[in-house]
Amino acid sequence: MIIFALIAATALIQTPADSLHGLVRAAGMGEGIPGVRVSVRGHVEFAFTDAAGHYALQHLTERRLELVFERLGFQPLTVDVMPGTGGGGVDVDLAPAAVALPPLSVVPLYVTAPAAPETTNVSPARGWQISIRPK
């Protein structure tokens, strides 16, 4: 009876030969990264990691694949894998990367108001009058 239970549990845990799954972690921290795009180079199919950093790709028919892991704020990573070997699990660590943003300047606009006694000609800008322009 115990042997049957172990065989049944093993059958449930095994993944199909045409699928891959795994965990994407932040290098040095070990925490799962949500929202990582996991794709197969040359294919249109892709998956995103869940809130804990887990992903799953199915229906992979080729013998050798290049998995590409991408997310803003991390260096992209490409890994060569062979589906159906090693239990289907591919865990990776992504290294953080600086994100270069173009410089911005905020220019407040002022509206001239009709002159009134004992006041100035300039009134402060309202929120809808402020524009952001790239340098």
Give the count of domains, the chain. 2
Residue 16 inside a domain? The answer is: yes
Q: Domain check: are 42 and 86 in the same one?
A: yes
Element containing residue 133 per DSSP (H, E): strand 131-134
Q: Is the pTM of this model over 0.85?
A: no
- Which tokens sit at 16? 């199909």
Q: What are phi and psi of 3, to 5 degrees?
A: -65, -40
Are 104 and 91 spatial neighbours (Cβ–Cβ below 8 Å)?
no
List Cβ<8 Å contacts ≥24 apart for 80-83: 81/20, 83/17, 83/18, 83/19, 83/20
Q: Domain check: are 30 and 75 in the same one?
A: yes
pLDDT band at 10 (very low <50, low <70, confident <90, very high): very low
Has residue 128 got a pLDDT over 70?
Answer: no
Has residue 93 got a pLDDT over 70?
Answer: yes
Most confident of 5-14, 90-99, 102-111: 90-99
Residue 61 inside a domain? The answer is: yes
Q: Domain check: are 41 and 84 in the same one?
A: yes
User: Higher-confidence residue: 51 or 121?
Assistant: 51
Residue 63 inside a domain? The answer is: yes
pLDDT band at 134 (very low <50, low <70, confident <90, very high): low
pLDDT band at 133 (very low <50, low <70, confident <90, very high): low
- Predicted confidence (pLDDT) per residue in 61-78, tens digit: 777 889 999 999 999 999
State whether residue 54 is helix, strand or coil: strand
Tell me which residue range forms the domain holding 56: 2-94
Residue 99 inside a domain? The answer is: no
Q: Domain check: are 8 and 51 in the same one?
A: yes
Q: Domain check: are 124 and 68 in the same one?
A: no
Q: Domain check: are 69 and 6 in the same one?
A: yes
Residue 8, pLDDT score: 34
Q: Domain check: are 52 and 17 in the same one?
A: yes
Residue 47 inside a domain? The answer is: yes
Residue 60 inside a domain? The answer is: yes
Has residue 27 got a pLDDT over 50?
Answer: yes
